[in-house]
């Protein structure tokens, strides 16, 4: 029987994948054709979604983007036998977008049925955990240290070192928590991973628990991701049923309980101490550090806090070895990075490659330039707190150090493109406005400063004393960077400062009239 893959990823759904799925089931039934439909994740080529795949001797064949109206024609063209059709793209793995990627963390996303433990295991799943269970906990931690894996949530802290701290705390209740708040605009890799291969996250958390001696885990998932919640809930239930979670993990006698907690629409709850407050059922106000969460975290106990992508990469590292993973990348940025390309771009989506690709390659070779056909004037990297980078710096390689050297940051790996119609003073204003909306209110530079920032930029836009106000804005940014307790107030000035630095004309042009 032929298998047809119809993505159940919410991005694909947003382009009509469910309606296409219904249409093709109806059409197949009418033609008395037996097909098996699998709702996989997205492969991440969103300009081709809904991208359907048909199993064949030549591997999986991709068709896309498919609309309901195309369905009868696809059957007429005998697509179940790989028939030629205007929408036939070819074998998925050979499409240039995929062929040039190095998918490690995303090796199964879009490939398997995300809810099926059997499918997961058939594609290399749970080999890492099996391995970890046979190793000394310290050796597991050491493997993560040597892989060079750094946190993918934004701060890029070495994951193994964090785990080592938790391991070294005296025995007792410890926790593993996953930060699935994914608040950064322009990023969607956590969502795609959870919707496409949630068991890799579950396995990664289980390995972390085994390694540091934790018995309980929480996934803090943002409320804006109801589809991810559904898939993850089903995957956790399936893992329990198959004894990959619960009182006797893989027959080892070890226990690991895992549950989801849903956020409530506060960006600041992505900051790890705020997330812990929220997990405890309180306002998401940032905690003063020290103590570190690794020492005193959830309910006052030693706690691992890691991003979805960080944890989902762990099984592969344990399975393949530290050297395998560290063999990818450049300098101190080891391994691969799932980049997310969005905004005004022709071909947006997820690109997983070893660190080191230049912005230009990402934007033009993968992205195909702007969606509008106009020149790309700026990109914002790393979410709403990330700097704007002008076209003159597009040859910068994408790794932690190279971006830091030009005053930018990689963050969670989102790249948002803007064409030359963008008004950078407005984008700067938005950065301050966002900070004002999302500030947790604990410290003054952030809470009051962001509102002041909006007012000052409004004056600049209105042409009131632009020189004086630009100076005031620069001083305010400096104050926020220096005086804020956490990264929200401390980094919200980055987009503003970079806009002023690289796109000064947008702040002064209006001043002349």
Partner 1 sequence: MHTSAVDRNHDIRRILAQFKDRPGPLLEVLHTVQAAFGFIPPQSISLIAEHLNLSRAEVHGVVTFYHHFRCAPPGQHVLQLCRAESCQAVGAEALAAHARARLGVDFHESTPDGRFSLEPVYCLGNCACSPAVMLDGRPYGRVTPERLDALLREADRAAGGNG
Ligand X SMILES: Cc1cc2nc3c(=O)[nH]c(=O)nc-3n(C[C@H](O)[C@H](O)[C@H](O)COP(=O)(O)O)c2cc1C
Question: Which residues sit at the interface with partner 1, rule CB under 8 A?
Answer: 10-11, 13-15, 46-47, 49, 182-188, 190-191, 223-227, 261-267, 278-284, 299, 340-344, 348-350, 371-372, 380, 384, 414, 416-419, 422, 427, 430, 434, 437-438, 440
Does position 265 interact with ligand SF4 (CB under 6 A)? The reply is no
**Cβ closest to ligand FES, residue 185 vs residue 393:** 185
List CB contacts of 305: < 8 A, sequence separation 6 or more.
162, 177, 178, 179, 272, 275, 276, 293, 297
Cβ closer to partner 1: 149 or 236?
236
**Alpha carbon 281 to chain centroid distance?**
25
Buried/exposed code over 277-309 (b: 16+ C-beta within 10 A; e: otherwise): bbbeeeebbbbeeeebbbbbbbeebbbbbbbbb
Which of 216, 211, 221, 219 has its CA nearest to residue 245? 216
- Name the strand (E) or helix (H) holding 471: helix 466-483
Identify which of residues 82 and 348 has a Cβ nearer to partner 1 in the complex: 348
**CB of 79 vs partner 1, minimal distance in Å:** 24
Looking at the Cβ atoms of 265 and 468, the one nearer to partner 1 is 265
CB-based burial of residue 356 (10 Å sphere; 0-12 exposed, 13-18 middle, 19+ buried)? middle
Shortest spacing between CB 466 and ligand FES, in angstroms = 30
Interface residue with ligand SF4, options 485, 496, 499, 500 (CB under 6 A):
485
**Residue 376, strand partner residues:** 419
Q: Residue 61: helix, strand or coil by DSSP?
A: strand
* Residue 484 touching ligand SF4 (CB under 6 A): yes
Nearer to partner 1, 250 or 260 (CB): 260
Q: Least distance from C-beta 229 to ligand SF4, angstroms?
A: 25
Length of the chain counted residue by residue: 513
How many angstroms separate the CA atoms of 510 and 273, rounded?
42
If binding is defined by CB under 6 A, does position 433 make contact with ligand FES? Answer: no
Q: Which is nearer to ligand FES, 342 or 402 (CB)?
A: 342
Shortest distance in whole angstroms from residue 10 CB to ligand FES: 10
Q: Which does 310 bind (CB under 5 to 8 A by kind): partner 1, ligand X, ligand FES, none?
A: ligand X
CA atoms within 13 A on the CB side of 343: 27
Whether the Cβ atoms of residue 144 and residue 159 lie closer than 8 Å to each other:
yes
Q: How far apart are CA 208 and CA 187, in angstroms?
A: 25
> Does residue 393 touch ligand FES according to CB under 6 A?
no
The CA R_g of the chain, rounded to the nearest whole Å, is 24
**Residue 483 CB, nearest approach to partner 1 (Å):** 22
Residues 174-193 that bind ligand FES (CB under 6 A): 185-186
Q: Among the residues of 269-420, which ranges form H helices?
A: 272-279, 308-320, 322-326, 359-360, 400-405
Our CB check for ligand SF4 shows the closer of 182 and 419 to be: 182
* Residue number with CB closer to partner 1 (208 or 351): 351
Residues 6+ apart with CB under 8 A from 134: none
Q: Cβ closer to ligand SF4: 273 or 336?
A: 273
Three-state DSSP state, 411: coil
Is the distance from CB of 89 to CB of 96 less than 8 angstroms?
A: no
From partner 1, ligand SF4, ligand FES, none, which one binds at residue 380 (CB under 5 to 8 Å depending on kind)?
partner 1
User: What residue 4 binds from ligand FES, ligand X, partner 1, none (CB within 5 to 8 A, per partner kind)?
Assistant: none
Q: Which residue, 289 or 464, has its beta carbon nearer to ligand X?
A: 289
Q: Which residue is nearest to ligand X (CB)?
A: 151
Nearest of 367, 423, 419, 409 to residue 493 by alpha carbon: 409
Distance CA(240)–CA(503), nearest Å, equals 54
Taking the complex as a whole, the smallest distance from the CB of residue 180 to ligand X amounts, in Å, to: 7
Q: Which of residues 266-305 bind ligand SF4 (CB under 6 A)?
A: 268, 286
Residues contributing to the site for ligand X (CB under 6 A): 151-155, 157, 159, 179, 181-184, 268, 270-272, 305-307, 310, 486-488
Q: For residue 126, what are its two tokens?
A: 């749970």
442 binds ligand SF4 (CB under 6 A): yes
Q: Which of residues 448-487 bind ligand FES (CB under 6 A)?
A: none
Residues near ligand SF4 (CB under 6 A): 268, 286, 439-443, 446-447, 484-486, 488-489
Residues near ligand FES (CB under 6 A): 185-186
């Amino acid at each position: 029987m032929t298998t047809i893959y119809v993505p159940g990823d919410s991005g694909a759904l947003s382009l009509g994948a469910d309606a296409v799925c219904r249409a093709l089931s109806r059409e197949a039934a009418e033609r008395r054709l037996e097909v098996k439909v699998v709702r996989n994740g997205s492969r991440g080529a969103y300009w081709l979604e809904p991208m359907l795949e048909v199993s064949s001797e030549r591997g999986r064949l991709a068709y896309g983007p498919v609309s309901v109206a195309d369905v009868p024609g696809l059957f007429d063209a005998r697509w179940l036998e790989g028939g030629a059709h205007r929408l036939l793209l070819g074998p998925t793995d050979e499409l240039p977008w995929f062929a040039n990627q190095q998918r490690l963390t995303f090796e199964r996303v879009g490939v398997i049925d995300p809810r099926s433990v059997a499918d997961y295991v058939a594609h290399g799943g749970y080999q890492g955990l099996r391995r970890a269970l046979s190793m000394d906990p310290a050796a597991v931690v050491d493997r993560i240290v040597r892989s060079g894996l750094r946190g993918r949530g934004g701060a890029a802290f070495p994951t193994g070192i964090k785990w080592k701290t938790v391991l070294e705390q005296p025995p007792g209740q410890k926790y593993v928590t996953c930060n699935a708040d994914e608040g950064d605009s322009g990023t969607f890799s956590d969502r795609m991973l959870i919707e496409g291969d949630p068991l890799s996250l579950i396995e990664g958390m289980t390995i972390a628990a085994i390694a540091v001696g934790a018995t309980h885990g929480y996934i803090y998932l943002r409320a804006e991701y109801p589809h991810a919640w559904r898939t993850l809930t089903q995957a956790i239930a399936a893992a329990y049923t198959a004894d990959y979670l619960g009182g006797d993990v893989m027959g080892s006698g070890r226990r690991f309980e895992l549950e989801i907690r849903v956020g409530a629409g506060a960006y600041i709850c992505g900051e790890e101490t705020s997330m812990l407050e929220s997990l405890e059922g309180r306002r998401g106000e940032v905690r003063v550090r020290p103590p570190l969460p690794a020492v005193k975290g959830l309910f006052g106990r030693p706690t691992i806090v890691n991003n979805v992508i960080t944890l989902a990469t762990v099984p592969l590292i344990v399975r393949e070895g530290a050297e395998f993973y560290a063999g990818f990348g450049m300098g101190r940025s080891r391994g691969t990075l799932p980049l997310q390309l969005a905004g005004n771009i022709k071909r947006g989506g997820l690109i997983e490659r070893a660190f080191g690709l230049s912005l230009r390659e990402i934007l033009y070779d993968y992205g195909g330039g702007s969606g509008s056909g106009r020149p790309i004037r700026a990109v914002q990297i790393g979410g709403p707190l990330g700097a704007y980078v002008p076209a003159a710096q597009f040859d910068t390689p994408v790794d932690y150090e190279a971006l830091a050297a030009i005053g930018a940051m990689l963050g969670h790996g989102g790249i948002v493109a803007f064409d030359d119609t963008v008004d950078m003073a407005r984008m700067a204003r938005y950065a301050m406005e966002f900070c004002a909306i999302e500030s947790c209110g604990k410290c003054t530079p952030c809470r009051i400063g962001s509102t002041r920032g909006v007012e000052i930029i409004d004056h600049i836009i209105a042409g009131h004393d632009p020189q004086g106000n630009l100076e005031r804005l620069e001083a305010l940014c400096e104050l926020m960077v220096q005086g804020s307790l956490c990264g929200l107030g401390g980094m919200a000035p980055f987009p503003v400062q970079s806009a002023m630095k690289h796109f000064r004309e947008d702040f002064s042009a209006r001043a002349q009239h």
